[in-house]
Structure 1
Amino acid sequence: MKSESVEQKKPQHLGRKKLLVYTILTTLVLISAFMVVYQVYLYRHDFREFNTHMRDREDINAEWGRLLIEQQTFGATAQIGTRAVTQLRMYSPPTAQTVVISLPTEPEQKK
């Protein structure tokens, strides 16, 4: 009779150990699955943020190019004025030599 009770305790004890091991393993698998999902979420969030920064960078580079063109345009205007004075001997006439022509106003035209 003693041997039967020892044999019955062994399978029950082994069954509890197996259940505990399976429960722990299942919990670890679920935790691992949730961590994978969370890592994918973080990756996508970071990738969206990266793309936003890259678009901002492209916009800034385009604006920088426009500013360089504008700077060259204003620099060219100064060069044209300097060359006109030095090479072509052009100058602005003094006020005494300036003639202002004005158009007649509307009531005078009717007369």
Structure 2
Amino acid sequence: MSTAEQPVKPQRHLPAGSGWLLLAGVLVVVSALAVSFSAHWSRLLLNELAGQIEVREKAQAEWGRLVLEQSTWTAYSRIERIATEQLGMHVPEPADVILVQP
């Protein structure tokens, strides 16, 4: 076949400004994907924050219990009672106290 016998294909021309329209469409899709990703990331971070707040609250509750327990164990009356009952100690009489000068 010669070139003269081949059917002529009609050439399709895009309207003027269609490149800008295509670019705007692509940018809209990219922007929509970015918004979706940002919302998802925000939800993940919010869930992580909620978990960390829960851990902090549990740690604060444990700290409060430990402080209360420490104050119970170091109470002066308890120490004096244990020293008297278990170790046989007693408060010395004023006459038994000897002051040593440096």
Q: Which amino acid aligns with 2:83?
A: G
TM-score relative to the length of structure 1: 0.59
Partner-residue secondary structure (3-state), 1:57: helix
- The one of 30, 45, 62 equivalent to 2:51 is 45
Structure with greater proportional helix content: 1
Aligned to 1:74: 82
Change (3 A) 1:29 1:40: same
Percent identity over the alignment? 5
- What's the CA shift string for 1:24-67, capped at 9, x where partnerless? 01111111111111111111100000010111111111111111
RCO comparison, higher one (Cα < 8 Å, 6+): 2
Structure 2 counterpart of 1:64, from 62, 70, 91: 70
Q: How many correspondences in the alignment? A: 78
Counterparts of residues 1-40 of structure 1 (less than 5 Å): 5=13, 8=15, 10-40=16-46
> Unpaired segments of 5 or more residues in structure 1?
87-111
Cα distance in 1 for residues equivalent to 2:65 and 2:47: 27
Q: Which runs of 5+ in 2 are unaligned?
A: 1-12, 97-102
Greater gyration radius: 1
- Measure how far apart 1:14 and its partner are: 2.0
Q: In 2, distance between residues paired with 1:15 and 1:72?
A: 88
TM-score for the superposition, normalised by structure 2 = 0.63
Moved more, 48-57 or 29-38: 29-38
